[in-house]
Amino acid sequence: MEQKILKLIKKYNKIIIARHTGGDPDALGSTFAMKEIILKNFPKKEVYVAGTAISRFKFFGTHDKITDDMQNDALLIALDIPDKRRLDKVDFEKFKDVVKIDHHPEIDKFSDNEIVDIDASSACELVARWAYKCNLKMTKHAAECIFMGIVSDTNRFLFGANKKETYQIVLKLIEKEHVNPNELYEILYKRPMSEVRLEGFISLNMKVTKNGLGYVKISDENLKELGTTSASIGGLMNNYNFIHGLICWVVFTEDKKNNVIRASARSRGVKINKLFEQYNGGGHVYACGAKLQSFSEANEIIDKLDELCFEYHNNDL
C-alpha cells in the first residue's frame, strides 16, 4: 500500500492534505510533515494544507485557504481521521482519488488507498513509517512535526506506545533527522496561566459518581472569566489519569460562538468510542470527543457513561 500511495502522489500535480476538525498536535504534525515530505521529494508539485488555524500550534505551519477551484483535479490525503464527516475545510465529494492514513478504529471506509493501523501510536508515526519505507527524504521541520505528534498523542509515551517500531522511528528522528527533544518539549508543553487556572477549575468542580465517572460542565461565561477557550481542554484531559477512584472522565464546554457543546472524554478501561459515535463523534477506544447540540445531550452522555462504568466494575464489558 505504501508504494500505491506514492504512485498516486506522483500522478497528481495538485495535492490537498486535510485532517479532522479541532486539530491536535498529531493531526497538525502529520499534515504539515506530509506536505514538507512531498515538496522535499517532488518540489514542482502544488501541495496545500486545509484546516482552521489554531493559534497555540503556530509552530507546525500555516494553513492554506482552500477554494472550490483548488479542489478540482486534486488528490486528497486525509490524515488522523476515521470519519469523512469530520474533515476540516474540504469538500470530500470533489475528489476522485483519496488517500487515508489513520490510527483510529474505523468508522467510515472512505478510501481504497489507506493505511490504517489502530496499534500505531499516532498518525505521525504512520506518516514517518510510510516515508521511510518509500525511501523519501525528510526535512528537519517535518521530523520535528512528527516527533511532536507522537509525543503528544502518547502523552510522552504513557499511552499507546507499546510497539518497538514507535521507538525505532523516534530514534531515527533524533539520530538521522537531528531532532532535539528538549527544544520541542519546551514548545509543546509551555502554557499560559489561563490554562493552569482552567485545569484548577476542572479539578475543583469535577463531580465523581460512585461508579468512577468524573464529569464537569463549563459554561461560556466560565471560560471568559478564566481567560481561555474550549480549545485548551484537549491538552488537559490526560492530566486526570491515575487518580484513585476515577476510571472515566468527561468535560463539557459551551462554545456559544459555534452554538455547540464540546465533549471530551478519557477512560482507563471502559470502552467509550461506540457511545460517542452515537453523537456524531468518536475517536479512540479510550479517548473520544463530540460536538453536542445542548447540555441535555451532555446529561444523556453522563448517564450512559456512568452505566458503562457500572458494567465495567461488574465485569460485563
Q: What is the pLDDT of residue 30?
A: 98
Domains along the sequence of the chain with CATH: 2-189 (3.90.1640.10), 193-313 (3.10.310.30)
Which of these, 213, 177, 180, lies nearest to 312 by C-alpha position?
213
Give the count of alpha carbons within 13 A of 255, CB side only: 18
Helix axes of 164-175 and 123-133: crossing angle, nearest 10 degrees: 70
Q: What is the pLDDT of residue 126?
A: 98
Which of these, 126, 136, 192, lies nearest to 160 by C-alpha position?
126
Q: What is the pLDDT of residue 314?
A: 85
> Which residues on adjacent β-strands are paired with residue 116?
102
Instruction: State the residue for C-alpha cell 504512485.
Output: 7
Q: What is the pLDDT of residue 20?
A: 93
> Which residues on adjacent β-strands are paired with residue 114?
100
Q: What is the pLDDT of residue 108?
A: 85
Give the count of alpha carbons within 13 A of 120, CB side only: 23
> Which residues on adjacent β-strands are paired with residue 16?
48, 76
Asked whether the beta carbons of 251 and 215 are under 8 A apart, the reply is yes
Could you list the pLDDT tens digit for every one of the 317 residues in the chain? 999 999 999 999 999 999 998 889 999 999 999 999 999 999 999 999 999 998 889 999 999 999 999 999 999 999 999 989 889 999 999 999 999 999 998 888 999 999 999 999 999 999 999 999 999 999 999 999 999 999 999 989 988 788 999 999 999 999 999 999 999 999 998 889 999 999 999 999 999 999 999 999 999 999 999 999 888 898 899 899 989 999 999 999 999 988 999 999 999 999 999 999 999 898 889 999 999 999 999 999 999 999 999 999 887 54
**Alpha-carbon dihedral sign for residues 131, 172, 286, 317:** positive
H helical segments located in 193-241:
193-205, 220-226
Query: CA–CA separation, 51 vs 64, rounded Å?
Result: 8
